[in-house]
Amino acid sequence: MAELIRIGEQMLAKTVSRVDMETGKPVPAAPRTRFGRLGSASMASRQLDAPPSPLPPPAMGRKVTVLTIDGGGIRGLIPGTILAFLESKLQELDGPDARLADYFDYIAGTSTGGLITAMLTAPNKDKRPLFAAKDINKFYLENGPQIFPQRMGFVNTLIELKGPKYDGKFLHSKIQSPPRRDKDPRHPHQRRHPNFRRQDSPAHHLLHLRPRTLMRLCVQAQTLPLKDVLLSDVCIATSAAPTFLPAHFFQSRDDSTGQTRDFNLIDGGISANNPTMVTVNQISRKMIVSKEEFFPMGPTDYDKFLVISIGTGTAKNAEMYTAKEAAGWGILSWLHSNGHAPIVDMFSYSSAALVDYGVSILFQALRSEKNYLRIQDDSLNGTAATVDVATKENMAELIRIGERMLATIVSRVDMETGKPVPVPDEGTNADALTRFAKKLSEERKARTSSQARTNSAM
């Protein structure tokens, strides 16, 4: 205890630190500034080159458009169903070739949401997205049973005691084998294609025990070779869910110097299963370092954001573990109880719920609540609530759940209780997505028109 007191005294004597926007690590704010006596600190930022895009920058329009997708394993069928609906509405407005990547400044996903993000944004040889939104569910239906092979309960238990429930080999092979021969999985080549949207796939860095936002790597890879990582490594890392799939190690290399950089990553769902807040924070950071891309918008102009956040559903019993029940749990029970991994469930559920609460309050405080749409179902039961039951019956049920969520009344977090409550005046989630599709189409057209006027004036 005396040592802990000394540690507290040492912390008071330390220089104030703040998180560096480049590395995500705390760094000294200014010399001779102590916690015991706070002073002012200057913050320097470096201009980053944004990749080219066919969607003109936000400065040409009125909003910053954002799409985020939660993690959830095979439950990716739920957002797959919802996103197919949204893309169909955009196609009704702008033609059959319209793709979600044509309308969003940023698309972010964690775990299975990260895989969906890659499918929606990675370009083919014609610089168009490799997958339409309607193809997402086809991927899960065709590959889910091989990614999550079903075994007998006792065999599963033995495997889980020794290591990850699944070896990930099939998933890794699908990720590393491009669907078309012309696809180059290295970030700079893909991100320099005009239609490759800005990605954000959170992962958790084991060595430093802090979240690592892979979007920074994507942007900086164009000028910093050690951050030039393979898209396949990003996808494997963000889907490496503890107890289910193995952690992922990979290296980047600077061929000009011979330097290498190690990455030790697991699923970002541990810290950001709902990546909305991480993404909004990254965009705000980019507004500071790339002002011309967003001007006249500033990093605190959250009322200028247009955000759609798609959940994968959560188990109804995520809120129903009791203290009496958990009081007797040991290590094994925290890791496995009645077919669930309570510790993983609690991390994922609580992080996602806190993000939704924080983002909802932010938009409501700015009287911009209609600029944020969260679609989620917190009442899943049985196998539908698991992340790895990839039977035909369960996958069909997950698609039905996605369709049911579209037909559900829009909900918004109540500032008093922190729980989502229906907002009948706004109709169903399908109605809200139809309105968002119109806003997205209008925003794209406004930017294109503004850019055309700017170009003609030059």
Return the active site residues: 111, 267
pLDDT of residue 74: 97
Closest by Cα among 436, 248, 397, 251 to 313: 397
- Calculate the CA 177 to chain-centre distance: 23
| pLDDT for residue 58 | 87
Q: For 344-352, what is the mean pLDDT?
A: 74
Q: What is the DSSP string of 106-163?
A: EEEE-THHHHHHHHHH-B-TTSSBSS-GGGHHHHHHHHHHHHS----HHHHHHHHHHS
Task: Give the tens place of pLDDT for each residue, 133-163.
Answer: 999 999 999 999 999 998 766 666 665 567 7
The residue type found at 145 is P
Q: Mean pLDDT across the stretch 418-432? A: 94
Instruction: Give domain limits for the chain.
Output: 61-444
Worst-scoring range by mean pLDDT, 47-61, 278-292, 377-391?
A: 47-61
3-state SS assignment for residue 164: coil
Mean pLDDT along residues 196-207: 48
Quick one: what percent of the chain has pLDDT higher than 90?
33
Label residue 436 by pLDDT band (50, 70, 90).
Answer: very high
Going by pLDDT thresholds of 50, 70 and 90, the confidence category of residue 284 is: confident
Residue bearing the bigger pLDDT, 174 or 338: 174
Report pLDDT digits (tens) over 100-116.
999 999 998 989 999 99
- Tell me what pLDDT residue 339 has: 64
Contact 412, 421 (CB under 8 A): yes
pLDDT of residue 342: 79
Mean pLDDT across 237-254: 85
**Distance set, CA 362 to CA 14, 197, 297, 353 (Å):** 33, 25, 17, 14
| Model pLDDT, residue 398 | 98
The reported pLDDT for the residue numbered 220 is: 46
Q: How far apart are CA 92 and CA 344, in angstroms?
A: 40
Q: Is the pLDDT of residue 252 over 70?
A: yes
Assess whether pLDDT exceeds 90 at residue 346: no
pLDDT band at 180 (very low <50, low <70, confident <90, very high): very low
Q: Is the pLDDT assigned to residue 267 strictly greater than 70?
A: yes
pLDDT at 200 over 60: no
| Top-confidence residue, 195 or 274 | 274
Question: Which range, of 15-29, 316-330, 333-347, 376-390, averages the lowest pLDDT?
Answer: 15-29
Least trusted range by pLDDT, from 21-25, 186-190, 421-425: 186-190
- CA 386 and chain centroid, separation: 19
Residue 280 confidence (pLDDT) above 80: yes
- Which pLDDT value is given to residue 308? 98
Going from the C-alpha of 366 to that of each of 22, 211, 225, 371, the distances in angstroms are: 28, 28, 40, 10
Residue 330 to residue 426: CA distance in whole angstroms: 46
Give the pLDDT band (50/70/90) at residue 304: confident
Q: Which two tokens mark 322?
A: 């009791």
Q: What is the model's pLDDT at position 191?
A: 34
Question: What CATH number should be reported for the domain whose range is 61-444?
Answer: 3.40.1090.10
Mean pLDDT of the chain: 79
- Strand 26-28 to 17-19 pairing: antiparallel
pLDDT of residue 396: 98
Closest of 341, 369, 448, 344 to residue 103, by C-alpha: 448
Answer whether residue 198 shows pLDDT above 90: no
CB 200: neighbour CB atoms within 10 A? 30
- Please tell me which residue, 84 or 22, carries the higher pLDDT value: 84
Instruction: Out of 29-43, 200-214, 222-236, give the one with best mean pLDDT.
Output: 222-236
CB 272 within 8 A of CB 110: yes
Lowest pLDDT segment from 25-39, 134-148, 344-358, 380-394: 25-39
* C-alpha–C-alpha distance, residues 71 and 110, integer Å: 5
State mean pLDDT over 283-296.
76
For residue 237, pLDDT over 60 is answered with yes
Most confidently modeled range among 23-27, 163-167, 204-208: 163-167
Bigger pLDDT: 420 vs 229: 420
Asked if 81 and 418 touch (Cβ cutoff 8 Å), the reply is no
